[in-house]
Structure 1
Amino acid sequence: MLRFMPVGDSMTIGSAGEHTWRYRLWQHLCTAYGEPFTLVGPRETLHDPTADAPTSYAYADPEFPRAHLAGWGEGWCHMAPLIGDAVRSCRADVLLVSLGLIDLGFYTNAEQTADNVRAFVAGARGARPRVRMAVMPVVRNIRVEADETFAGQVARFNALLAETAAELDEPGSPILLVPPPATYDFHTDTYDGTHPNESGEHKIAGAFAEAMWQEWGLGGPYKPS
């Protein structure tokens, strides 16, 4: 059984009442992938805006493997120390990673964030040497449009991420840089300028699905359901 682990920030954990892009990808793989698979991770909850804590199980549709390693306000700097134990305990085969926005916004600059990417990769491989990683660059949000300095850091990090992924890519443990959804627009694909709404969830899930299909032969072309 192939075990996918979604790793991310608030865009990945989602909030109470949402489906999440994790659910959209699960639906897609159920119809497109011919072998047994599941989603794994040490966490299952959504973010509860009322409690401001990851305590909600109120998924729009809870009937899917809800496991993940994602957290509201968490980035590469938070996940790098956790990934080894998570990969080891959950026996993850494929990591689906969407991180960076929160790092650049609050914690680290582009170069420091890229260093944390390296630490993350090392930790994952230390736990499971043949783990695959599909990594999405930071997608544009409302702050990128409003803050020129932040926009520059996002552009710089995305360039460093591409270089780092190419450098660390190995045949036995490939790193796939997932092209951000070409039509993703934070004006229409988010509910607040950052967090995906239904169309945004589909576009993020579709980006991961298409990249894995084209580069690794996993699944098939993304068809929203």
Structure 2
Amino acid sequence: MVAFKLLALTTLVACVTAQNATIRYMPFGDSITEIICWRSKLWNKLQGTEWATVNFVGSGKTENNCRDAKYDRDHEGHSGFLAVNIANNKQLDGWLKTNPADVITMHLGTNDLVSGNKPVADIIRAFTTLVASMRTSNPKMKIVVAKIIPVTYTAANTQVQALNAAIGPWAQGLNTTASPIWVVDQYTGFSVSGDLRDGVHPNDSGDTKMMNVWYPALILSMMWGVLLNPDSV
């Protein structure tokens, strides 16, 4: 039994090593995906692991003064964009056509609540449209959706909490084996006084906290793809 487990583990590691170079990962969202440094921190944490060759994809190349010349800057973060508008305008369809992905992380909804005054139900409806776009682009898309970080504005943060509470049941209703949705909690443990630089965007400690939440979910999503679909992540 021990020998079998060792053989299985060896086979899995070999499979992961062979497959991970083909994995295309899209960080998707608004300015909390674009003008931040958690992408740099995430890329650096992947280095030295079997996932070091994962390809970040997207039309954006924003560096945001992270003082890091090495990391893969490709992303699909768009400052000021609303989830509702991205969905209604079918913008993700075009972005994925230009930059196909196998795995997506999504942190979206802040602008809908802070500046757009959109109802939570409309945002959740937009999320459903965005997931449909992801799966149309790639029926085996692995999707990681965040309960979004807090903001300092009390009224908006109450709505952030309401959106976050709705995300879990929504994701469960859309989850499939071929294209799973994992929900990660970027809200809990994130300090509005210590982890934000301007009331909305993470500072360095906030970037580190966000990276540490994304990292295990990203690894799980990539591993899931290798295990279930060894020929096509």
Aligned to 2:68: 61
Aligned to 2:98: 89
* 2:170 maps to 1:164: yes
**Unmatched 5+ residue regions in structure 2?**
1-21, 225-233
Aligned to 1:110: 120
* 2:80 maps to 1:73: yes
Aligned to 1:45: 62
The 8 Å contact of residues 10 and 70 in structure 1, kept in 2 or not, is answered as yes
**Unmatched 5+ residue regions in structure 1?**
48-57, 219-225
Aligned to 1:8: 29
Distance 1:171 1:217, change over 3 A: same
Q: CA deviation at 1:59?
A: 4.7
* Among 135, 147, 163, the residue aligned to 1:125: 135
The 8 Å contact of residues 148 and 187 in structure 2, kept in 1 or not, is answered as no
Deviations 1:153-180 (A, max 9, x none): 2222112211111111110011110122
Aligned to 2:180: 174
* 2:109 maps to 1:100: yes
- Distance in 2 (CA, whole Å) between partners of 1:121 and 1:61 is 32
Distance 1:138 1:109, change over 3 A: same
Aligned to 1:192: 198
Deviations 1:94-127 (A, max 9, x none): 1111111111122211000101000100111111
- Distance in 2 (CA, whole Å) between partners of 1:112 and 1:174 is 22
Distance 1:71 1:30, change over 3 A: same
Q: CA deviation at 1:45?
A: 2.7
* 2:207 maps to 1:201: yes
Q: CA deviation at 1:76?
A: 1.2
SS in 2 for 1:31: coil
SS in 1 for 2:115: helix
Range moving further from structure 2, 121-130 or 26-35 = 26-35
Q: CA RMSD in A?
A: 2.1
The 8 Å contact of residues 88 and 128 in structure 1, kept in 2 or not, is answered as no
The 8 Å contact of residues 46 and 52 in structure 2, kept in 1 or not, is answered as no
Aligned to 1:55: none
Structure showing greater radius of gyration is 2
Structure 1 length-normalised TM:
0.81
Percent sequence identity is 26
Q: CA deviation at 1:92?
A: 0.5
SS in 2 for 1:97: strand
Aligned to 2:6: none
The 8 Å contact of residues 181 and 204 in structure 1, kept in 2 or not, is answered as no
Q: CA deviation at 1:152?
A: 3.3
The 8 Å contact of residues 104 and 153 in structure 1, kept in 2 or not, is answered as yes
The 8 Å contact of residues 179 and 211 in structure 1, kept in 2 or not, is answered as no
The 8 Å contact of residues 181 and 203 in structure 1, kept in 2 or not, is answered as no
The 8 Å contact of residues 57 and 75 in structure 2, kept in 1 or not, is answered as yes
User: Which is helix-richer, 1 or 2?
Assistant: 2
Aligned to 1:29: 46
